Amino acid sequence: MADRPLSGGQTAAAILALALIVGLAGDACHVAAGTTTYEWDGVPTVWRSAIWFPVALAGSVLAAAWLSERAGTPAVRTRTRADAVVGAAVVLALYAVTALLNDTPATVSVVLVGAIAVAVWAWWDPSPGALAVALAASVLGPLAEVAVVSLGASAYGEQVDGLGGVAPWLPWLYFAAGAVAARLWPALRG
Amino acid sequence: MADRPLSGGQTAAAILALALIVGLAGDACHVAAGTTTYEWDGVPTVWRSAIWFPVALAGSVLAAAWLSERAGTPAVRTRTRADAVVGAAVVLALYAVTALLNDTPATVSVVLVGAIAVAVWAWWDPSPGALAVALAASVLGPLAEVAVVSLGASAYGEQVDGLGGVAPWLPWLYFAAGAVAARLWPALRG
Amino acid sequence: MADRPLSGGQTAAAILALALIVGLAGDACHVAAGTTTYEWDGVPTVWRSAIWFPVALAGSVLAAAWLSERAGTPAVRTRTRADAVVGAAVVLALYAVTALLNDTPATVSVVLVGAIAVAVWAWWDPSPGALAVALAASVLGPLAEVAVVSLGASAYGEQVDGLGGVAPWLPWLYFAAGAVAARLWPALRG
């Protein structure tokens, strides 16, 4: 891990790169497992995702990271680039775990993903500011996906569409991603 | 996380609240997955648990935390309230994981839960004192559940009742919970 | 955890002991789940493993740990014996998790095991030196297993033999083990 701080543009590029890796790999798990299906034909795909998915996801992560940095709410813990790799990898692992839960009762999947998401926040940066970003992500992310599903662009599997057409554990996956995104800017800038 | 130390009564209340959340959510996973079944009719239930379960569990966690504090065995690591949230969330995640293991060979489930339990102890407080509490919990907890099962109050599923009527991984789940409980008092008091 | 540094021979013995525990318990999971099968009759077994497996594995871990120590590449983090227990337990938990993935699409299992493996490296010692050992292990370990499978000594299950006869997630399991092995010598010596 290099020690020199990155410029603003470099930091943004690093966040986009990390979000693209996590988003594309995680979404590939969901498509492979049948957790989600893309419904529109003729849309270009990147790996297993329709092209609009990584664009929207990476843009959202960058916006969350940048707005959190601008808001200037105090962090409890100072995070390094190596910590950011741990955080992003743990969110990706959680993303992959959700692809294993298609036959799992919702009580179990929601408690499992929720407990890990809370642990991620309390480990990464147990601050009110990161909690606010995590909570906002846990509401806005699933609402956006409900809209996408309503448009018919994608669908969750029959056994995991119980929350307005999306998976019941989805808010907690966004919670974990939002908590990490909240401090990604200073962590990657160095 | 507020910085002011809690009084003894407040610390006890915080421990009870945390134990109730973890116990009720974890037990709801076990009931939803068929890992455990409550057999007595007419007993009031809280979420998915017969009412005696959260009472016994929260009381036991509080007793373990308070006795560990009174015993005064030295901790290797000083833990904060945020750490306690991580510890409790990890124990709850492990609790939920056990609800996924009903069709898993006992060798795999015992090694998996055991490895995570040992990691929890070695991360949270790798001290002889916390190990002693974890080991005591790993014996006393399953023995108490064997007694409950013998009384006919609850039952483990057919595929996970191989340890005297309870699950073979149960000692390791108690081990992890006991390790964390051992230092919950100072962590939550602040 | 005792505080006195170990001699070279004691350190080597501790590494062998840890590698034997992790290797035998992890391999028992693979055999119990049908992930791997030993094909040669008449070979003495230790727990569920043909005797050559723990010998080869423990020897390889010791060699990796000793060569890394001799190479003298700088570590980013100083690790203690308690950390080594966490690291070994996490690798064993990951080993056990792979035994749950026989019916999982390769995309999901590779992303899950890969994400956890990267998190292990970035947590344990996010240094170029540990990365080099992890990468070397991720190539040499699976190549050795491909050779063993070619000799007919063991076999992976039909659904998890897609990488030249071995499991597609196997490089990542070796990656995690290699990353931890890279700093096991100083961690256990104390």
Are residues A115 and B96, on separate chains, in Cβ contact within 8 Å? Answer: yes
Three-class SS of residue C156?
A: strand
The whole-angstrom separation of Cα B180 and Cα B15 is 11
Tell me what pLDDT residue C3 has.
Answer: 74
Q: Which residue of B has its CA nearest to A102?
A: B100
The proportion of chain A whose per-residue pLDDT surpasses 90, expressed as a percent, equals 97
With beta carbons less than 8 A apart as the criterion, state whether A154 and A50 touch: yes
Nearest-CA neighbor of B100 among B164, B26, B20, B37?
A: B26
Closest-CA distance, C108 to chain A, in angstroms, reads 5
Nearest to A100 by CA among A116, A119, A86: A116
Contact A108 B96 (CB under 8 A): yes
Residue C128 to chain B, least CA–CA distance (Å): 24
Query: What number is the average pLDDT over the span C143-172?
Result: 97
How far are the Cα atoms of A47, A70, A129 from residue A77, in angstroms, in the given order?
35, 17, 12
A118 and B1 in contact by Cβ < 8 A? no
Q: What is the mean pLDDT of residues C183-188?
A: 98
Question: pLDDT by residue (tens digit) across B74-100?
Answer: 999 999 999 999 999 999 999 999 999
Give the pLDDT band of residue B8 (cuts 50, 70, 90). very high
Task: Report pLDDT digits (tens) over A52-76.
Answer: 999 999 999 999 999 999 999 999 9
Q: B31 pLDDT exceeds 60? A: yes
**A181 contacts chain B (CB < 8 A):** no
Beta carbons of A29 and C112 less than 8 Å apart:
yes
Residue A94: alpha-carbon gap to chain centroid: 10
Residue A2 pLDDT grade (very low, low, confident, very high; cuts 50, 70, 90): low
Q: Span A32-50, mean pLDDT? A: 96
pLDDT band at C2 (very low <50, low <70, confident <90, very high): low
Cα nearest neighbour of B84 on chain A: A122
Q: What is the pLDDT of residues C36-54, one digit of tens each?
A: 999 998 999 999 999 999 9
Strand partners, A155: A37
| Spatial contact of A167 and A160, defined as CB atoms under 8 Å apart | yes
**Nearest CA distance, C94 vs chain B (angstrom):** 8
Q: What is the pLDDT of residue A3?
A: 74
Q: How far apart are CA B171 and CA B128, in angstroms?
A: 18
pLDDT at residue B30 in the model: 98
Question: Please, which residues have CB within 8 angstroms of residue C88's CB and are 6 or more apart in sequence?
Answer: C18, C21, C22, C180
Q: Which amino acid is at C62?
A: L
Q: Would you call B29 and A76 a contact, using CB atoms and an 8 Å cutoff?
A: no
CB pair distance less than 8 Å for C107 and A28: yes
Q: Which residues of B touch A119 (CB under 8 A)?
A: 85-86, 89-90, 93
The pLDDT tens digits for C13-25 are: 999 999 999 999 9
**A183 phi and psi, to 5 degrees?**
-125, 20
- Tell whether A108 is within 8 A of chain B (Cβ): yes
Nearest to C126 among A1, A31, A48 (CB): A1
Q: What is the mean pLDDT of residues A154-174?
A: 97
Under a CB-based contact definition with an 8 Å cutoff, are residues A88 and A18 in contact?
A: yes
Cβ contacts (< 8 Å) between C86 and chain B: which residues? 119, 122-123
Residue position matching structure tokens 């083990």: C177
**Spatial distance between the Cα atoms of C176 and C113, rounded to a whole number of angstroms:** 9
In chain A, which residues have their Cβ closer than 8 Å to the Cβ of B26? 111
User: Across chain B, what does the average pLDDT equal?
Assistant: 97
Is C31 within 8 Å of C38 (Cβ atoms)? yes
Identify the band that residue B3 occupies on the pLDDT scale cut at 50, 70 and 90.
confident
What number is the average pLDDT over the span A153-166? 97
What pLDDT shows up at residue C80? 96
Which residue type does C83 have?
A: D
Using the 8-state DSSP alphabet, how is residue A166 labeled?
Answer: B
Give the DSSP H/E element, type plus range, for residue B154: strand B154-156
Q: Is A165 an 8 Å CB contact of chain B?
A: no
CA distances to B95, B176, C182 from B24, in Å: 11, 17, 41
Residue C1 confidence (pLDDT) above 70: no
Q: What digits encode the pLDDT tens for the residues B160-179?
A: 999 999 999 999 999 999 99
**Within the 20-59 window of chain B, which residues sit less than 8 Å (CB to CB) from chain A?**
25-26, 28-29, 31-33, 48
| pLDDT for residue C29 is more than 60 | yes
- For residues A149 and A141, what is the distance between their CA atoms, to the nearest angstrom? 12
* ipTM over cut 0.95: yes
Contact A89 C126 (CB under 8 A): no
Which residue(s) pair with B163 in the sheet? B166
Give the model confidence (pLDDT) of A7-21 as tens digits.
999 999 999 999 999
**pLDDT at residue A1 above 60?**
no
**pLDDT above 70 (res B125):** yes
Q: What is the mean pLDDT of chain C?
A: 97
